Amino acid sequence: MKAYLDNSATTRVDPAVLEEMLPYFTEKYGNASSLHSFGREAREAVEKARERVARLIGAKPEEIIFTSGGTESDNLALRGAAHSRRDRHRILTSNIEHPAVLETFRDLERNGFTAVYAKVDREGLLDASAVAGMIAPDIAIASIMLANNEIGTIQPVKEIAEECRRKDVMFHTDAVQAAGKIPVDVRKLDVDLLSLASHKFHGPKGVGALFVREGVGIKPLMTGGGHERGLRSGTENVPGIVGMGKAAEIARERLEEDAARMRRLRDMLIDGLLSMEETYLNGSREKRLPNNANLRFHGIEGESLVFLLDENGIAASTGSACSSKKLQASHVLLALGLAEWQAHGSLRLTLSRFTTKEEVEFALRGIPQAVETLRRMSPVWRKIKKGEM
């Protein structure tokens, strides 16, 4: 038996999605820009997919730009917006964004912008009014993720976006983890730009989309044949786009049912694991994606835990990464105010539409065993038990 609990990394392609993609590799292989029947067939498929993706987020089809994925969508949004408003010098984001946003901000800083970072509280949430207070007319672009990729916390994007609207500041949200898990409506959220990635909701990898509100002008990253309204030159990835379209359609139709199911299983997982000693939930329990559990087991280190779980058939991920000098705890976990040794013992478990109760039960047997094994090995655990840490 195996349990795949790393669906925030990527998800399984829905069989219905794959089926719809396949003809676009073989019989229907035309270039969507060609004038002949092969091209027209591909164009129709791309436009149908555009409608489906638009419907998932309450947008108009012409507001959807297909990209290669979430990272490109974030880059296009942030660089495209910042460089179209060179008269403004500041850019604003949060301290728990995905690297696709944070690293783009760092690069924009090297290009002369001054970045401002809004900080989350211990629950991993931004204070909407505090962030609203930071919005000023000299900001070229503000970007706040809708839901966090590590701890699943859902940010008050609507309130912040509304303040941006009042101050005429362009606003972007990274909705890569949110789409297909919670309702996402670009009109209700009142955002100008919104990023999506197909493979996070059972579509194929290598395709994503950026919503660009009608009337919002941004600069393209790539020059070329002027595809996608000139914002993303390059021959369309037709099978990928078709797959993303189908995945978006299924995600929209099944949203309520999927979310309720994932939430039930997720709660089972969280409650089951919280019964272990010195075990804590990272991030708000209430304002949280229905498919995210991120737990912290004091006294152990994440990399060994992930490998030990993998040996026992459980796929999960951790919030630490090794740099050349030391093991670095995740910037998101540190932003919650955790000590580094606490952050190191964190484990992210993320569910999908295809996660079964059996998988969750399997994980609920395997994880405590693995944690116990590593704690027996750990001098830090010994100190915790003696009350020395």
Partner 1 sequence: MVAFDYTEKVMEHFRNPRNMGVMENPDGVGEVGNPACGDVMTVQIKVKDNRISDIKFQTFGCIAAIATSSMITELAKGKTLDEAMKITRNDVAGELGGLPPIKMHCSNLAADALHAAIEDYLKKKGGIR
Q: Which residues bind partner 1 (CB under 8 A)?
A: 299-304, 306-308, 311, 317-327, 329, 339-341, 344, 376-382, 389
- Smallest distance from partner 1 to CB 9, Å: 10
Query: Residue 31 or 373: which CB sits closer to partner 1?
Result: 373
**Cβ 376 to partner 1 shortest distance, Å:** 8
- What b-and-e string marks burial along 234-263, b requiring 16 or more CB atoms within 10 Å of the CB? eebbbbbbbbbbbbbbbbbeebeebbebbb
How far apart are the C-alpha atoms of 302 and 145, rounded to whole Å? 25
Minimum distance from CB of 200 to partner 1 (Å)?
Answer: 18
- Which is nearest to 152 in space by CA: 267, 3, 310? 267
Question: Which residue is catalytic, options 36, 168, 322, 388?
Answer: 322
DSSP state of 339: -
In Å, what is the CA distance from 183 to each residue of 107, 115, 303? 32, 30, 33
Supply the minimum distance, in Å, between the C-beta of residue 389 and partner 1: 8
Cβ 357 to partner 1 shortest distance, Å: 27
CA distances from 178 to 114, 181, 182 (A): 28, 5, 6
- Cβ proximity to partner 1: between 26 and 324 the closer is 324
Q: Report CA torsion sign: 96, 100, 103, 104.
A: negative
Q: Which residue, 152 or 299, has its beta carbon nearer to partner 1?
A: 299
Residue 164: active-site member: no
Place of tokens 């001054």: 114
Residue 251 tokens read as: 């995600």
Cβ atoms of 12 and 369 closer than 8 Å:
no
Between 36 and 325, whose beta carbon lies closer to partner 1?
A: 325
Considering the complex, state which of residue 34 and residue 304 has its C-beta at the smaller distance from partner 1. 304
Return the number of the residue (180 or 319) whose C-beta is nearest partner 1. Answer: 319
| Cβ atoms 74, 66 nearer than 8 A | no
CA dihedral 211, 212, 214, 220 (to 10 degrees): -140
Compute the chain's Rg from CA coordinates.
22
- To partner 1, the closest distance from the beta carbon of 345 in angstroms equals 9
Phi, then psi, of 44 in degrees rounded to 5: -60, -40
Active site residues: 322
